[in-house]
Chains A and B, each alone.
Chain A
Amino acid sequence: MSTTALDRKADSASAGVRPAGYSLVRTRFGARRVSFLLHRRAAVVAVALLVLLCLTCVAYLSVGESFVAPTEVLKVILGQPSSDELVVGTLRLPRMVVGLLVGAAFGVSGALIQTVARNPLASPDIIGVTQGASALTVFAMTYGVTSFAVLPYLSVAGGMVAAVLVYVFAWRGGLHATRFVLIGIGFAIALRSLTTLFMTKGDYLVAQQAQVWMTGSLNGRGWDEAAPLGWVLLILLPAVAWAAYAQRTVSLDDGTATALGVRLGHIRLGLVLLGVVLASVATGTAGPVDFVALLAPQIARRMTRTAQIPLLCSALLGAVIVVLADLFARKLFAPTELPVGVLTAAIGAPYLIWLIIRSRTAGAGK
């Protein structure tokens, strides 16, 4: 590179450079200029996923023990009188809404924790968060607490305690991604054993109920579960919007991010906290629906090709996965209903194995 080449470059640079692939959205609020960067591909993917989700939902409401025509389904959704009101509106719709919310919560949760750990393996269902939530919930169940009004709170508490323990044990003057994941996996295994212990100690009827819950099931979920979950997610929405912005900065390495004036410690803690609450609330409602938090963000990211994991797309994809999986869970071996977690595990487990193989070969290549 010669000096003259540099001069020429510096002079001819009249056209402004923007981050490639982003569109600028600019507006004013009074005297304040407001501008947002919108990733074009991510926006297109989000719209596509939204359409896919709508189609999945209509299919979900149509298919079941009795088939309801999509036109009738739409009638019910739009509040028009229909003879299928009971089947669609009362039986299938609330359960679907729970699935949708649970999927979205798991999707975002996985995205946040994977971002902080900078590791695709670090999702709440791998590093002990959902296992912590399960352990406390099952413990409570064996002592006779079966109300779904109480269990979600216990789940959040359990998930939180597990996350704090993993965080504290992984902390050594800083948060090292690999150590975080390995310690998390260790805790996950320990907590799972603890859960089994509670189940074997407990009454066998309770144990059976806990077992179904443990696999992750939407069976019997309705508006009573959907409403609190919906409220919690709505309240957390501003936090998720903040996270989408803050995420941009933590995807750099620690040194660079700190040099750019990012309060890394605070932001990380905030993101993990949000991720843990989302995963725990979802677990409390439907049990640990395995692998959704692991799968959704990574697939979403491959679709959008963004430098960080896209939160909105992760949420949408998580919702699609759970609703679709529950559709198959209801229909595949009808009249026997499988817990939805069995299906997500069937898709997720091979993916997890592939991920580990791939990361090992990538490591060897360095």
Chain B
Amino acid sequence: MTTSIGETTKSGLSRLRARELTLAYDDRTVVHDLELAVPDGRVSVIVGPNACGKSTTLRALGRLLKPKSGSVLLDGEELARIPTRKIAQSIGLLPQSPTAPEAITVADLVSRGRQPHQHWWQQWSEEDERAVTEAMARTDVTDLAERSVDELSGGQRQRVWIAMALAQETDLLLLDEPTTFLDIAHQVEVLDLVRRLNHEQGRTVVIVLHDLNQAARYADHLVAMKSGRIVAEGHPGEIVTAELVREVFGLESVVVPDPVTGSPLVVPGAPYRPEAETGVA
């Protein structure tokens, strides 16, 4: 198993880094001394079992959570020292379950993404209009523009939220479990969209996912976390092994090449069978 921060940082630059990052809710420490360099222009996926601190880490990278100690650096400067509005011009973040104001229309919600570029005396510019139009077209929600967000399906709603984050036009985009509550077709749709945005616009993306196979499929850079620490990181093809799955998820599995992409595919060990237990077979 190759565990190396060196490789990825050597191959590219990192605008966003975590240094000795320790995160806690009240007295409960969730993330310990984390070192992370988010590779520019790549899709990084943070993966791990429930409560491993992956969402917490993402929230800290997007200054939604203040570090207990250590720091998150954007272009070498501590996030805590940068005005929040300025951060919003570089980092976009979509929380796990965002809530829209009652009865808001799709176009209105997506337009809120322009907030960090607006002032009270300038509430709408041609630049805003272009960004919103583009974001809605990319996420295929243009036809929904006048609909109320309340009445959309889960998949549509998620695309609208992503459109809002896109309209913000930031180089870095952080997404917290964007596929939760979606059926498999919509999951694939959302992840494809993210990958496409990364490819076409060179945006740096960090996604938190709990599905290891999806992570292995879509990540350029995979970060596996357990109990608030990074267990392994690197290209999925290099780090996803049966040992890693056992270590991180405590699951016996066989890792085979994905028949479509060739990326590692984790097949869990044999399911429960009554014969095996009672010994009848």
Within 8 A of B (CB), among A22-79: 22, 24, 26, 32-37
Chain A binder among B33-41, B80-88, B242-250, B263-271: B80-88
> In the complex where A258-B63, A260-B168 touch, is A17 in contact with B116 (Cβ < 8 A)?
no
User: Residue A262 at the B interface, CB < 8 A?
Assistant: yes
Within 8 A of B (CB), among A3-27: 3, 5-6, 9-10, 12-13, 15-22, 24, 26
Residue of B nearest to A26 (CB): B124
Complex Cα gap A154–B49 (Å): 56
CB A21 to nearest CB in B, in angstroms, measures: 7
Q: Establish whether residues A35 and B130, one from each chain, have CB atoms under 8 Å apart when the complex forms.
A: no
Q: Establish whether residues A260 and B129, one from each chain, have CB atoms under 8 Å apart when the complex forms.
A: no
Complex Cα gap A261–B116 (Å): 6
User: Residue B123 at the A interface, CB < 8 A?
Assistant: yes
Could you tell me how many residues of chain A have their Cβ less than 8 Å away from some Cβ of chain B?
Answer: 45
Q: Establish whether residues A35 and B123, one from each chain, have CB atoms under 8 Å apart when the complex forms.
A: yes
Chain B binder among A134-142, A215-223, A245-253, A285-293: A245-253
User: Residue B138 at the A interface, CB < 8 A?
Assistant: yes
User: Residue B31 at the A interface, CB < 8 A?
Assistant: no
From B59, B104, B107, B113, A260 is in contact (CB under 8 Å) with: B113
Cβ–Cβ < 8 Å partners of A254 in chain B: 64
User: Which interface class (under 10, 10 to 19, 20 to 34, 35 or more) fits B?
Assistant: 35 or more
Q: Establish whether residues A253 and B95, one from each chain, have CB atoms under 8 Å apart when the complex forms.
A: yes
Total number of A-B contacts with CB less than 8 angstroms?
Answer: 141
Complex Cα gap A5–B196 (Å): 13
Residue of B nearest to A244 (CB): B120
Q: Establish whether residues B142 and A20, one from each chain, have CB atoms under 8 Å apart when the complex forms.
A: no
Residues of A within 8 A of B (CB): 1, 3, 5-6, 9-10, 12-13, 15-22, 24, 26, 32-37, 173, 242, 245, 248-249, 251-256, 258-263, 305-308
Residues of B within 8 A of A (CB): 26, 59, 62-64, 83-89, 91-96, 98-113, 115-116, 120-125, 129-130, 132-134, 136-138, 140, 142, 145-146, 164-165, 168, 189, 193, 196
